[in-house]
Amino acid sequence: MATRNVGLELDLDWVSRVQVNLPAVKLRAEQLQARRTVKKQWQAAWLLKAVTCIDLTTLSGDDTAANVHRLCFKAKWPIREDLLKAVGMQDKGITVGAVCVYPSRVTDAVKALKSAGCDIPVASVATGFPAGQTLLKTRLEEIRLAVADGAREIDIVISRALALTGQWKALYEEIRACRKACGEAHMKTILAVGDLGSLTNVYKASLVAMMAGSDFIKTSTGKEGVNATFPVALVMVRAIRDYHHRTGNKVGFKPAGGIRSAKDALAWLVLIKEELGNEWLSPELFRLGASSLLSDIERQIYHHVTGHYAAAHELPMA
């Protein structure tokens, strides 16, 4: 991930002028979801592109060094080699975009990826994920510890209460402090859109997060009742586009939560292509937060190559 967002001073006038036309957002979201499907070899190519943008994730209470090691193995070799050979992609170095784990598992992931001889970044959730209801000094220390252990990307969660009560300056200052604690590590800011109450709040929180220096803005922790949806995503990517036009800084986008099928992945790629353009169709500016998505993508590529679907034992996740 090369792009960095330097941020800017908080512009409360810009934030206060935000208005979201809900019917227009819903209409555009429906139009995007109804876009033509991608077929045959073009579908395989798009699915392999999606693989390179996956943050392969395990965030479970029963995570162990062993299952993190298996996840890292799959991160380096996400698609069976014979399938890649069949589509002429065996020498393209296809890996996932990152491996995402809890802070306590960063060291395990770094060691596993190093032993596999690859440079896939380790991302870590931090700042009291998923609720963010811990003291700020504790959240900042969690970031610093994860970075010290080798995390090159940090997924922070915002204080939803600050957004819900319109305390945009306080939210800006908290995110800015998180950015400082990240140091050279890239920061992905989770808005937890299902908790924000309105699309207007989603847009405002997106702007504030970008002004504070977020390199990515992310929809959800995956733990809320509502996670990544097209209307929410449309509001966030429009905020990214407006921010880019105003500042020249490119900020990445990461939908997360409920993205499980190859068809879902294709829909998200279409949204990014239509709304932000081909420049954003890379792991530097687009990620898919998912744990089970990769299995279905590999299943669809198997079908493309062989003409039938694999049995479960033929495509183990890890």
Catalytic residues, by residue number, are: 218, 254
Q: What b/e readout covers 42-80, taking b as 16+ CB neighbours within 10 angstroms?
A: ebbebbbbbbbbbbbbbbeeebeeebbbbbbbbbbebbb
Between helix 262-275 and helix 22-33 the angle, nearest 10°, is 120
What does the block give as tokens for 88? 């002429």
How, if at all, do strands 153-157 and 186-190 pair?
Answer: parallel
Cα–Cα nearest to 252, from 104, 98, 149: 98
The set of residues, in sequence order, having a beta carbon less than 8 Å from that of 280 and lying 6+ positions away, is 250, 252, 253, 272, 273, 286
What does the block give as tokens for 66? 């062993």
Report whether 286 contacts 280 (CB < 8 A): yes
3-state secondary structure at position 191: coil
Cα–Cα nearest to 32, from 203, 190, 264: 264
Looking at the DSSP assignment, which residues form a beta bridge with residue 190? Answer: 157, 218
